[in-house]
Amino acid sequence: MTIQVGDRIPDTNLVKATADGPQPVSSTDYFAGRRVALFSVPGAFTPTCSARHLPGFVDKADELKAKGVDEIACTAVNDAFVLQAWKDSAGAEGKVTMLADGNGDLARALGLTMDGSKFGLGQRGQRFSMVVNDGVVESLNVEEPGAFSVSSADYMIERL
């Protein structure tokens, strides 16, 4: 079942990508006590993710924070080393926190997986965005397969 507005984020293990190396964190601890703009991409360095999705959140970070977002986070079914390299190459340091969901545990717990096997990607997280306020989903925007519109930073800003 797909997570809905008003649901609590399920407790799963994630790995925060940092310049000092991977740091394990539980989703419960990460989302506690703050308002987070979370977006999910099918994979780091993939075309739409690198050209539009991550750059949109990097470019709009100040606007999101002005609308009451405490932190912006990106999750992907990739390892923390890949996400750190992607963050570095995109100039996202200090703007977007990368949360590696290497085994896809969060994507599965949210009910937001996709099968990218046709492209050699295996099981991945769907493209979506949400606002999580103290661990509870405040808004949720899930893309149709192949689309990029409702999970963008611009779409989120318009609705905050």
Burial annotation 50-89 (CB, 10 A radius, 16+ → b, else e)? beebbbbbbebbeebeebebebbbbbbbbbbebbbbbbee
The encoded tokens of residue 123 equal 């099981």
The active-site residue, picked from 36, 49, 96, 132, is 49
Q: Which of 28, 124, 3 is nearest to 75 (CA)?
A: 124
Q: How far apart are CA 46 and CA 33, in angstroms?
A: 32
Q: How far apart are CA 158 and CA 160, in angstroms?
A: 6
Q: How far apart are CA 51 and CA 144, in angstroms?
A: 19
At position 9, the amino acid (one-letter code) is I
**49 is a catalytic site residue:** yes
Q: Is 153 helix (H, G, I), strand (E, B) or coil?
A: helix
Cβ atoms of 45 and 134 within 8 Å: the answer is no
**Residues belonging to the active site:** 49
